[in-house]
Chains A and B, each alone.
Chain A
Amino acid sequence: MAAHLKKRVYEEFTKVVQQQHEDLSTKKLRLTKPSKSAALHVDLCKATSPADALQYLLQFARKPVEVESVEGVVRILLEHYYKENDASVRLKIASLLGLLSKTAGFSPDCIMDDAINTLQNEKSHQVLAQLLDTLLVIGTKLPENPSVRMRLVEVACKHLTDSSHGVRNKCLQLIGCLGPVEKGGAKEAESQAAKDVQKIIGDHFNDQDPRVRTAAIKAMLQLHERGLKLQQAIYSQACKLLADDYEQVRSAAVQLIWVLSQLYPESIVPIPSSNEEIRLVDDAFGKICHMVSDGSWVVRVQAAKLLGSMQQVSSHFLEQTLDKKLMSDLRRKRTAHERAKELYSSGEFSSGRKWGDDAPKEEIDTGAVNLIESGACGAFVHGLEDEMYEVRIAAVEALCMLAQSSPSFAEKCLDFLVDMFNDEIEEVRLQSIHTMRKISHNITLREDQLDTVLAVLEDSSRDIREALHELLCCTNVSTKEGIHLALVELLKNLTKYPTDRESIWKCLKFLGSRHPTLVLPLVPELLSTHPFFDTPEPDMDDPAYIAVLVLIFNAAKSCPTMPALFSDHTFRHYAYLRDSLSHLVPPLRLPGRKLVSSAVSPSITPHEDPSQQFLHQSLERVYNFQHLDPRGIQELLEFTIRDLQRLGELQSELAGMADFTATYLQCQLLLIKALQEKLWNVAAPLYLKQNALASAAAKQILEETYKMEFMYSGVESRQVVIIHHMRLQAKALQLIVTARTTRGVEPLFGMCEKFLQEVDSFQRCFISELPHMQGSFVDKLLDLMPRLVTSKPSEVVKILQTTLRQSTFLHLPLPEQLHRATANIIEPTGESDNPLRFTSGLVVALDVDATLEHVQDPQGTVKVQVLYPDGQAQLIHPKPADFRNPGPGRHRLITQVYLSHTAWTEPCQIEVRLLLAYNSNRSKASTRIPKSTWNESLESLPPSENGIEGTIPFSKPVKVYIMPKPARR
């Protein structure tokens, strides 16, 4: 029998092989492939016991199977499936079927019938569940085949009555993933069973097994995700599930309720046990709020998270979430928040509190007290006091999102957020500080709140302090005492942690420019001037004094009366600080200082900034005079590049733009220079040196284009086209140079082909931009494309050369905002003379602290490079958690780099620097192409062959002195 089968299988293979033979006549056959499935078959036949067979299958599962042989393998497996008596082996086979149908490129519709047939006679529930899982895989692999899906759903519906929870589970999952999403016309044609998947799934909300109930809710959510509009009728069912005994059911039910509340926010639902009706979203909000005090923390996290995204809820429900009526001995008591507020509004401050200050006041009507609050009452109060910090973080996040959309709520939740600044877990504190910053435009801090906020300035964690500085930058303070308090606390912070200097100065800069009128009355006190006596001149190098001056000067910018209060030395100090810390001290119009004022006055109109004008003018000039003689163009370019670079240094806000254009012009300059070389006229081998120059130019242009594409944030598709175009030109140049220097056509052949492919993909990617590129290199090239494809490499090179010379210089349109990614390594400072000693062979951890600006997705792109003196380089990928995001466009990398080396005789320096990794595949161009075209040309997108990965160094290297000692034995 076995021999007979074996023979059959081999016959089958030969058949398969022959088919391949016919299909792919150009390729040589890979005859070794099918033997794999044959080997499996032999193994399986050899297996004497189920345990043996299981072993063989397990081994088989470890190796990948090629697309061509999948079907054969599946047939063999099925064959054995029918023969096998042992359930565990059948289970493994079923799971293998699923794995195999996942193989990329394999279309599983041919095995579907077989898979469905296996279900017929299966008795084991586990195997049945696994088979359904396989069907699910098959179904998801065939998304555009509704009839197949219909069939699978029908099969699943049939097995819904199974007594095992596993099978029902899988059936529901399958229905959720594959059930028909569109309703309407085609409905009649469909079979009875699959008519209303929602109804079928809904019936299982009351299943006896909690796992099945969960699966049913999940399936419903899956349907929603796939675009089916869920019926409102489910809402009441879902509400009942909120009281389920099992946490996973409740957790899923909360999600379902949230989905429904987003679908039907305005529907009206009745309140049970009364005649009133409320909006569905309010009702759902109340119910989810209720779940914030659930017994299981998983559900609590889930509920707290979802609350944040329910922005349609009416404000009076929203405000209830912060409400908690206090009482003591049945008498109403005010909360500490209310007391603080009252104290504030009564203008009284340092009242020493007595016992009984919080004594309860009025009696409460016992009937009116509602201990189990219905709905939203106090949900956030509970959430913020929760035992698990996960819940607290989720609650803070939700609070943030709701406060962002509702200013009145923001005002109310302030007290609670401020309280969270004292949480025991640092993450929670940090999160609440960030939250406060995000809603800062909606709020004004009262003095007592400010007091609590400022107390955190003494925190020993640097993250917390910096986050708080960040928060103070954008906080509104209501009184001059508040400003004074903030300044005093910041100065205290400065003396305690001198490393915070920069951050504190920056914070005071914003504090000053935001509250000029509040700073004004404080000036004499702050500068300690006296109406009659001269006071001693403060020390100019004192960071605290600088901090005070930064505050005052920034306030003075929009408060012209303030400089009158300055004493003489203040003006001198101003001049000094304006030069040394120009980013912190704004230009001021000072009386009797002509020079300063005249330079500053025009800059008040920011629209027509002269430097911006200058930038545009110089670019205009370059573009207009492109028909100048070559030498003239070169000179003009050189001058412009120099101007732009200088401009970038002077004007920090234009630096990105200036650098970007300068780089572009630099590329152009290099290209022109390379084409000017005389080598083109002479026989190739004689001019090896010039060749080196031209190919170096090509290489540099390539590098620069990658920098332009990946190092700047804010680059739009218009720029990307031009960058790619420049790169194409560089590649053409490279091709020409190679053609000149190498003998023989063989390598050239490949290069040409590759280049033409690139042109092709360029055309496909940027088809919409092509009309703007009249007369450019690529435009001409595309005209000549038919000729190029057919001609020989040498001709291609010739054509390229002429087109490259004749092509015009493309304008580079400038985007609105352009910023260059920069990184600054704060630590290690590279100043230490004490080498870091460690035993060779062991590791030492080096703390790296760096700020990154304008880096998109730093978690994926920023790497740390360590260069050892022996030239060995090490690339380290920091953990995603090492990146903090203190503000928009800014990131902070705080990580540890592990170093190790064999023993050295002397201490030596290593270099640490940051790199920006890029991959031209996930270039911005491909993501920017509109969705529709992307879907259509999914297959025709440039495949990975021209995906170039590389890194750009974008920080100054820092030297670290290390000394690996030999290990003592």
Chain B
Amino acid sequence: MPEIKVTPLGAGQDVGRSCILVSIAGKNVMLDCGMHMGYNDDRRFPDFSYITQNGRLTDFLDCVIISHFHLDHCGALPYFSEMVGYDGPIYMTHPTKAICPILLEDYRKITVDKKGETNFFTSQMIKDCMKKVVAVHLHQTVQVDEELEIKAYYAGHVLGAAMFQIKVGCESVVYTGDYNMTPDRHLGAAWIDKCRPDLLITESTYATTIRDSKRCRERDFLKKVHETVERGGKVLIPVFALGRAQELCILLETFWERMNLKAPIYFSTGLTEKANHYYKLFITWTNQKIRKTFVQRNMFEFKHIKAFDRAFADNPGPMVVFATPGMLHAGQSLQIFRKWAGNEKNMVIMPGYCVQGTVGHKILSGQRKLEMEGRQILEVKMQVEYMSFSAHADAKGIMQLIRQAEPRNVLLVHGEAKKMEFLKQKIEQEFHVSCFMPANGETTSILTNPCIPVDISLGLLKRETAIGPLPDAKRPKLMHGTLLMKDNSFRLVSPEQALKELGLAEHQLRFTCRVHIQDPRKEHETVLRVYNHLKGILKDYSVQHLPDGSITVESILIQATAHSEDQGTKVLLVSWTYQDEELGSYLTSLLKKGLPQSPP
């Protein structure tokens, strides 16, 4: 039985360091190549030695697919390709290819320049690595080699995020990467067709959550910002550079536009500017509204949002500032926070989750007095708000995607084990498909039952389907033909052609049978009686009396001779070919019953 083998090197019952190995019909594919944010030692990258101890990786992997540009999905790529050594193709979408190196470079800078690590990949390595990347379009079927093909679907998680279908022959796997089923202000919803893969590998970050409508969240956020600005206060929004930051920018930008507001909005860091440039370019990857209006105005050409300068923080009057990093643990956002924290008119909005130990986490848990470096005590008088803007599918979204794709098996990755357990049970219960959740390094085998395509000549197909009343594809149909297995290909051909191709002579199989009839008359009279009898019964068949004294019914031959010993008994010889078996046996049984007693 053929099987699909899946081994997560990262992201198995865990979030971060996504890296999944898939073997399908003899092909090995690596899905994502990420780093883990929680570790700073060897554990931050997947253990590539699992793939091979001493051989070259290129010999073991047919291709690598990167789903999107977040570092936990692509962070280990330069290490993998340049330091461990992989020369095969790497596939990602165009926006990912464009933005990914920016983030990798940033990551490198922080690790090498700030933390002073030495054994790390260099800028040149990033460049070399990106040269191996093949960019793909949405819904474009890419032939990796003769048998392996991949196809990208829209995932809606960040710009350029994609789900990938990997297909070899009739077996296929869909890997979702991270995805979002509810559209937001700059991206659409994930979509996949009914591709019915053998296995669906899906993320399950929010396996146990059903989220409220995004509208309430947006409205709350906008109202808070608006109120503060109207009061004359300053709003600080700490964000990570890419992804949600653009979402919030669009949200505020359109709101400012709609409401005719004048207060300035600033965005810190140069990194984002570069990335924003790509957002402007890849309009086709955004949602309906942006795609429809970009002819009049590109939504990412912000009218109200300007670059931030350090000096602006002291300006009087209301303003909104987006600053990095998102957890207030260092950098510009923390600086601004220290300046503004003392005024109760100001507000800080945390748009995402904060790790324990960061300033962000402390203020969110209600701490009002913070101890800063140098034993300073910072009193926080500004309002602190929390808004969750996350672009992962919730439990309902995951179920919806499974419903859309109709897979035969589901495998969960990128989530916590306890939460997966719940979702797994739900999936098995609602869809009646088996569901797996391997841990890192654990291999799951899935038996498949692939269909084997067979070529059939058009002539034969037409001839065979012509018999019978109505072609009905929904029901299996019996066909006569010869299966030829030659040169690794299967063909269904007509028997004649098969004989011709194989150079075999045709053999005929004939059945003969003798039937004894008591009839005292002369032979030819007996023949005549048999003839009349058959003619009377088999009205639909051609019954002929040949001049040499034999009878043919279609192709069945009947001859009569007198019994050598008993002249009163006539022997009828019935002979038919194998193809006419049905009619032949019917005739014999008919003749065995004897002739009707005709009037003498």
Residue positions of A touching B, CB distance < 8 A = 161, 163, 206, 208, 245, 293, 295, 324-330, 333, 335-337, 352-356, 366, 369, 371-372, 381, 384-389, 416, 419-420, 422-425, 452, 455, 458-461, 496
B546 interface contact, C-beta 8 A: no
Q: Is the CB of B385 within 8 A of A353?
A: yes
Compute how far the CA of A559 lies from the CA of B41 in the bound complex, rounded to whole angstroms. 78
Residue interface mask B247-276, A partner, CB < 8 A = 1: 000000010011110000000000000000
Compute how far the CA of A295 lies from the CA of B404 in the bound complex, rounded to whole angstroms. 7
Contact (A419, B212) CB under 8 Å given A208-B473, A355-B366:
no
Compute how far the CA of A420 lies from the CA of B223 in the bound complex, rounded to whole angstroms. 15
Q: Which A residues are CB-close (under 8 A) to B518?
A: none
Pick the residue among A161, A371, A381, A424 that contacts B470 (CB under 8 A): A161
Q: Which has the most chain B C-beta neighbours within 10 Å: A328, A352, A356, A381?
A: A328
B287 interface contact, C-beta 8 A: yes
Least CB distance, A391 to chain B, in whole angstroms: 10
Q: Is the CB of A387 within 8 A of B193?
A: no
Q: Is the CB of B365 within 8 A of A355?
A: yes
Pick the residue among A208, A328, A384 that contacts B471 (CB under 8 A): A208
Q: Is the CB of B430 within 8 A of A419?
A: no
Q: Is the CB of A355 within 8 A of B426?
A: no
Pick the residue among B192, B400, B474 that contacts A206 (CB under 8 A): B474
Q: Which B residues are CB-close (under 8 A) to A416?
A: 213
Compute how far the CA of A425 lies from the CA of B182 in the bound complex, rounded to whole angstroms. 16
Q: Which A residues are CB-close (under 8 A) to B211?
A: 326
Contact (A458, B425) CB under 8 Å given A295-B193, A336-B217:
no
Contact (A422, B218) CB under 8 Å given A325-B210, A372-B430:
yes
Pick the residue among B208, B219, B222, B383 that contacts A328 (CB under 8 A): B208
Q: Is the CB of B288 within 8 A of A387?
A: yes
Q: Which A residues are CB-close (under 8 A) to B425?
A: 366
Least CB distance, B548 to chain A, in whole angstroms: 42
Pick the residue among B223, B289, B400, B471 that contacts A424 (CB under 8 A): B289
Binds A, one of B183-191, B238-246, B487-495: B183-191
CB within 8 Å of A: which B439-485 residues: 465, 469-474
Compute how far the CA of A161 lies from the CA of B211 in the bound complex, rounded to whole angstroms. 51
Q: Is the CB of B259 within 8 A of A326?
A: no
Q: Is the CB of A371 within 8 A of B399?
A: yes
Least CB distance, B78 to chain A, in whole angstroms: 35
A-B contacts, 15 listed (Cβ < 8 Å): A161-B469, A295-B191, A295-B192, A326-B210, A327-B395, A329-B208, A333-B212, A335-B212, A355-B384, A388-B288, A389-B289, A416-B213, A419-B219, A460-B259, A496-B260
**Chain B: CB-nearest residue to A492:** B230
Compute how far the CA of A295 lies from the CA of B222 in the bound complex, rounded to whole angstroms. 31
Q: Which has the most chain A C-beta neighbours within 10 Å: B214, B216, B289?
A: B216
B507 interface contact, C-beta 8 A: no
Compute how far the CA of A416 lies from the CA of B219 in the bound complex, rounded to whole angstroms. 12
Compute how far the CA of A461 lies from the CA of B426 in the bound complex, rounded to whole angstroms. 47
Contact (A387, B189) CB under 8 Å given A327-B208, A422-B222, A459-B259:
yes
Q: Is the CB of A355 within 8 A of B386?
A: yes
Least CB distance, B77 to chain A, in whole angstroms: 31
Residue interface mask B45-84, A partner, CB < 8 A = 1: 0000000000000000000000000000000000000000
Compute how far the CA of A388 lies from the CA of B182 in the bound complex, rounded to whole angstroms. 11
Q: Is the CB of B400 within 8 A of A352?
A: no
Least CB distance, A251 to chain B, in whole angstroms: 15
Compute how far the CA of A386 lies from the CA of B181 in the bound complex, rounded to whole angstroms. 10
Q: Is the CB of B289 within 8 A of A425?
A: yes
Q: Which B residues are CB-close (under 8 A) to A385?
A: 182-183, 213-215
Q: Which A residues are CB-close (under 8 A) to B532?
A: none
Q: Which A residues are CB-close (under 8 A) to B384?
A: 354-355
Contact (A460, B260) CB under 8 Å given A327-B208, A355-B384, A366-B422:
yes
Q: Which B residues are CB-close (under 8 A) to A389?
A: 288-289
Compute how far the CA of A420 lies from the CA of B216 in the bound complex, rounded to whole angstroms. 10
Q: Which B residues are CB-close (under 8 A) to A163?
A: 465, 471
Least CB distance, B381 to chain A, in whole angstroms: 12
Q: Which B residues are CB-close (under 8 A) to A461?
A: 258
CB within 8 Å of A: which B369-426 residues: 383-386, 395-396, 399-400, 403-404, 419, 422, 425-426
Q: Which B residues are CB-close (under 8 A) to A388?
A: 288
**Chain A: CB-nearest residue to B422:** A366
Number of interface residues of B (CB under 8 A): 60
Least CB distance, B471 to chain A, in whole angstroms: 6
B339 interface contact, C-beta 8 A: no
Q: Which B residues are CB-close (under 8 A) to A387?
A: 183, 188-189, 287-288
Compute how far the CA of A324 lies from the CA of B220 in the bound complex, rounded to whole angstroms. 19
Other A-B contacts than A335-B216, A372-B399, 6 sampled, CB-CB below 8 A, are A419-B215, A419-B219, A452-B223, A455-B223, A458-B259, A459-B259
Contact (A460, B257) CB under 8 Å given A352-B383, A355-B366, A372-B430:
yes
Residue interface mask B533-551, A partner, CB < 8 A = 1: 0000000000000000000
Contact (A419, B259) CB under 8 Å given A352-B383, A387-B287:
no
Least CB distance, B473 to chain A, in whole angstroms: 3
B139 interface contact, C-beta 8 A: no
B140 interface contact, C-beta 8 A: no
Q: Which B residues are CB-close (under 8 A) to A366?
A: 422, 425
Q: 5 smallest A-B Cβ distances: which pairs?
A: A208-B473, A336-B216, A387-B183, A419-B215, A355-B386
B364 interface contact, C-beta 8 A: yes
B209 interface contact, C-beta 8 A: yes
Compute how far the CA of A355 lies from the CA of B354 in the bound complex, rounded to whole angstroms. 12
Q: Which A residues are CB-close (under 8 A) to B386?
A: 353-356
Least CB distance, B536 to chain A, in whole angstroms: 31
Compute how far the CA of A460 lies from the CA of B193 in the bound complex, rounded to whole angstroms. 40
Contact (A371, B223) CB under 8 Å given A208-B472, A326-B212, A353-B385:
no
B194 interface contact, C-beta 8 A: yes
Q: Which A residues are CB-close (under 8 A) to B213?
A: 324, 335-336, 381, 384-385, 416, 419
Q: Is the CB of A459 within 8 A of B258?
A: yes
Q: Which has the most chain A C-beta neighbours within 10 Å: B215, B399, B422, B425?
A: B215
Least CB distance, A107 to chain B, in whole angstroms: 36
Least CB distance, A393 to chain B, in whole angstroms: 12
Contact (A336, B183) CB under 8 Å given A387-B287, A419-B219, A496-B260:
no
Q: Which A residues are CB-close (under 8 A) to B385?
A: 353
Compute how far the CA of A422 lies from the CA of B504 in the bound complex, rounded to whole angstroms. 78
Compute how far the CA of A366 lies from the CA of B465 in the bound complex, rounded to whole angstroms. 52
Compute how far the CA of A335 lies from the CA of B282 in the bound complex, rounded to whole angstroms. 35
Q: Which B residues are CB-close (under 8 A) to A425?
A: 289
Compute how far the CA of A352 lies from the CA of B212 in the bound complex, rounded to whole angstroms. 20
Q: Is the CB of B254 within 8 A of A424?
A: yes
Q: Which B residues are CB-close (under 8 A) to A384?
A: 213, 215
Q: Is the CB of A329 within 8 A of B288?
A: no
Q: Which A residues are CB-close (under 8 A) to B218?
A: 422
Compute how far the CA of A384 lies from the CA of B191 in the bound complex, rounded to whole angstroms. 18
Pick the residue among B217, B364, B399, B422 that contacts A355 (CB under 8 A): B364
Q: Is the CB of B209 within 8 A of A460?
A: no
Compute how far the CA of A596 lies from the CA of B385 in the bound complex, rounded to whole angstroms. 57
Q: Is the CB of B215 within 8 A of A420?
A: yes
Pick the residue among A329, A336, A369, A420 that contacts B220 (CB under 8 A): A336
Q: Which B residues are CB-close (under 8 A) to A206?
A: 472, 474
Compute how far the CA of A245 lies from the CA of B212 in the bound complex, rounded to whole angstroms. 30
Q: Which B residues are CB-close (under 8 A) to A325?
A: 210
Q: Is the CB of B289 within 8 A of A208?
A: no
Q: Which A residues are CB-close (under 8 A) to B260?
A: 458, 460, 496
**Chain B: CB-nearest residue to A206:** B474
Q: Which B residues are CB-close (under 8 A) to A420?
A: 215
**Chain A: CB-nearest residue to B416:** A329
**Chain B: CB-nearest residue to A245:** B194
Q: Is the CB of B472 within 8 A of A460?
A: no
Compute how far the CA of A245 lies from the CA of B195 in the bound complex, rounded to whole angstroms. 10
Least CB distance, A249 to chain B, in whole angstroms: 12
Least CB distance, A324 to chain B, in whole angstroms: 7
**Chain B: CB-nearest residue to A455:** B223
